[in-house]
Amino acid sequence: MKRKYRDFEGNDIDFKKPLIDSEFKRKLKIIGAALAIFFISTGIYIYFITRGLPSLRQLEEYRPKLASKVYSADMKLIYEYYEQKRSYVPLEEIPKALKQAVIATEDRRFYKHWGMDLRRFAQAFFINLKSLSFSQGASTLTQQLARQLYLTTERTITRKIREIFTAIQIERTYTKDEILEMYLNHMYFGHGAYGVESAAQIYFGKKLNELTIDECALLVGLLKGPGYYSPLRHPDRALRRRNLVLHSMKELHFITEDQYNELIAKPLDLSKGKKNAAYGLAPYFTEYIRQILQKKYGNRLYTDGLSIYTTLDSRAQACAEAAMKKQLKSLQQSVRKYYYNEKRFPDLLTEEERRTLNIKEVLRDTTFVDSLINTRAAVQCALVSIDPRNGHILAFIGGRDFDESKFNRAVMARRQPGSAFKPFVYTVAIDN
């Protein structure tokens, strides 16, 4: 006898009748197909956007572009050759306050996330959704580093996804301290300064370990916008940004309330910055040896952080320049007197100026005449001081002003030595 089954309402259940009708099956297939297409498309999209990401080998072989430094014989830094003005500093030599300022301002959960901060990302997502803009950023320190090292700065979803994947790979390759060290040495701080060491020199004229807390806060404030918050161009903005960084440090208890109040009251002090030392101590000399070094090392001269030791003596160079300036001033006065008359002054003018200008009237304008004589009849100079015992160059001057003229008269100008060569002739005669 066949056993019958009933449902809760007492109706007989027919197992031959399909429990799921054909309409439901059709909908289920459509949903399954849509999900399959979605996941396959997502996989293909992720494959293509991650295909050009840096390999593990590239991540492990991090080599920042470093400035090559030129030293005098008495170990004074006289110039740097670079594509990016950067000196690499180990994390242990970076001030604690600087590290704390970066963490407090840029990535408070740096030591807790794995390259992407989901909590911060969610907060930024809802804020941007509410304002219908991209005003709120959520990039971690690692993501910022990934963007600077390997990616572009375009604001697209594709770039953001590539940034996240690269950041995760960086986190898997390096420790947190190594990432922080790379970040502080790589980021741009404005006015040609790459990394915290160069920034300390350019803005404060100090070594990194000499920075105060408020100076550390100022540098960290530049990371958001080196141009917009430049203390040299926009001191008011820079001051507000510095104080905001100090407030963030206070919130994380890196500084006390009393310290905070004392520090925000301090004005900006950039008086010792190296921003004006464009050409160094002996510009004609450093340009002369640059041409020699470039033939030997090529582009490595600007990227490999070479240390170049020269025979130039900074004290002898300073004395030579002082003596040269004194003599040039005297000679320039003689030249000015020579051209201050109606017969000789026209020699400084172009043919058109001679036709159109009234020489007598022009000579009455002493300011204009002095300017013209100093420009068109500027006395030039050249000096090379050599140690006769070994041929070492001790001082080197190729002209009165490297900024005005890059022509190196010490090695490029062809002049008769005149009586200056007599000592060499007499020395040979005496020896023989």
Q: Which residues are catalytic?
A: 106, 419
DSSP 396-409: EE-SS-TTT----T
The rounded distance, in Å, linking the Cα atoms of 56 and 53 is 10
Three-state secondary structure call for residue 79: strand
The rounded distance, in Å, linking the Cα atoms of 386 and 367 is 40
Three-state secondary structure call for residue 81: strand
Is 73:311 a contact under the CB 8 Å cutoff? yes
Distance set, CA 305 to CA 83, 302, 404 (Å): 11, 7, 29
The rounded distance, in Å, linking the Cα atoms of 78 and 336 is 34
Amino acid occupying residue 218: L
Tokens in use for 327? 């003599």
Phi-psi region of 380 (alpha: psi -120 to 50; beta: other; left: phi over 0): beta
